[in-house]
Amino acid sequence: MQPSELQEIARALRSARDSQTPIQAPTKTWPGLDADSAFEVQRIGAEEAIKKGDRLVGYKLGNIAKVMQSAFGLDHPDYGFLLASTTIYEGSSLPRNQYIKPFVELEPAFVLRGPLCGPNATVVDVMNAIDYAIPAVEIIDSRVQNWAIDLPDTLADNGSTGSIILGGTPRKLTELTLSDTRGTLSFNGRQVMTGNTANVLGNPLSAMAWLVNRLAAYDIEFQPGQVIMPGSCLEAVPMEEAGHWVCTFEGWGTIEFNVV
């Protein structure tokens, strides 16, 4: 695709985000959009945000769990940039009208003490690069009408990222069993979804290795201090109404927030 077309797609998605007004899937309007060109669209979007004062804080992987791929009709993970402007504090009250059609996910997040790059990064490389892990919530939201997305659509839309909430209970990897940690989502005192970190490619550390190796194709390396989110451990739950969310990893920590 021509650079002017990539810029046009980035502008359309940025306008949809700013106005909370979804657009037709980019692959319908621009049939030539594939995964590689879609990643360039998301890179354009991130660079524009950074030029306006935002900050790159890390990267995310999405739709790695089979339950997520089935829910959104995808057969391949997506990935995107994490920007400071998308981070929300624990305990915050989130206006429902700042999103289009959001869903809540629970996942671990990793903060790096050292650099990490692919290709051919292993799980051992990942473990050596991590400083600590924290519980995290991602609120995914698509700028595409009715989530009618193919892989290039969600990639162009920065992996359908809405907001992220990073928890305040850091743990070293040796304190966790990331291949078998149960997670739950509760809304207004009622449990609405459960899952296990084993759903994240068997172990979220494996998912993180997958992500750094995939992004190496775009000359991206992870840097010390960055946050890496490897994907949800459970099926995302619609965030449709006002109320109180409690998002818990058993034996680790809880994130709570309100929707108003």
Share of the chain above pLDDT 70, in %: 96
pLDDT digits (tens, 9 = 90+) for 67-117: 555 555 555 788 999 999 999 999 999 999 999 999 999 999 999 999 999
What per-residue confidence (pLDDT) applies to 75? 55
> Where does the pLDDT of residue 8 fall: very low under 50, low under 70, confident under 90, or very high at 90 and above?
very high
Q: What is the mean pLDDT of residues 194-220?
A: 95
> Where does the pLDDT of residue 63 fall: very low under 50, low under 70, confident under 90, or very high at 90 and above?
confident
Contact 207, 230 (CB under 8 A): yes
What per-residue confidence (pLDDT) applies to 62? 86
Q: In residues, how long is the chain?
A: 260
Rounded CA gap, 86 and 40, in Å? 20
What per-residue confidence (pLDDT) applies to 77? 84
What per-residue confidence (pLDDT) applies to 74? 55
pLDDT digits (tens, 9 = 90+) for 140-160: 999 999 999 999 999 999 999
Rounded CA gap, 162 and 62, in Å? 12
Q: Give the N- to C-terminal CA distance of the chain in Å, as an integer.
A: 41
Q: How far is CA 184 from CA 76, 109, 146, 238, in A?
A: 24, 16, 26, 14
Q: What is the mean pLDDT of residues 43-63?
A: 95
CATH of residue 151: 3.90.850.10
Q: How far is CA 59 from CA 32, 78, 111, 136, in A?
A: 26, 11, 11, 13
- b/e burial code for range 106-119 (CB count within 10 A of at least 16 → b): bbbbbbbeeebbbe
Position 252 pLDDT exceeds 70: yes
Rounded CA gap, 124 and 81, in Å? 24
What per-residue confidence (pLDDT) applies to 65? 55
What per-residue confidence (pLDDT) applies to 48? 96
**C-alpha dihedral, 71 to 246 to 198 to 220, nearest 10°:** 80
Mean of the per-residue pLDDT values of the chain: 94
Rounded CA gap, 196 and 208, in Å? 16
Position 194 pLDDT exceeds 90: yes
Q: How many CB atoms lie within 10 A of CB 68?
A: 25
Structurally, how many domains does the chain consist of? Answer: 1
pLDDT digits (tens, 9 = 90+) for 160-189: 999 999 999 999 999 999 999 999 999 999
Contact 171, 108 (CB under 8 A): no
Q: What is the mean pLDDT of residues 241-248?
A: 98
pTM over 0.75: yes
Contact 101, 147 (CB under 8 A): yes
Q: What is the domain range of residue 17?
A: 3-259
Amino acid (one-letter) located at 168:
G
What per-residue confidence (pLDDT) applies to 236? 94
**C-alpha dihedral, 195 to 68 to 201 to 151, nearest 10°:** -160
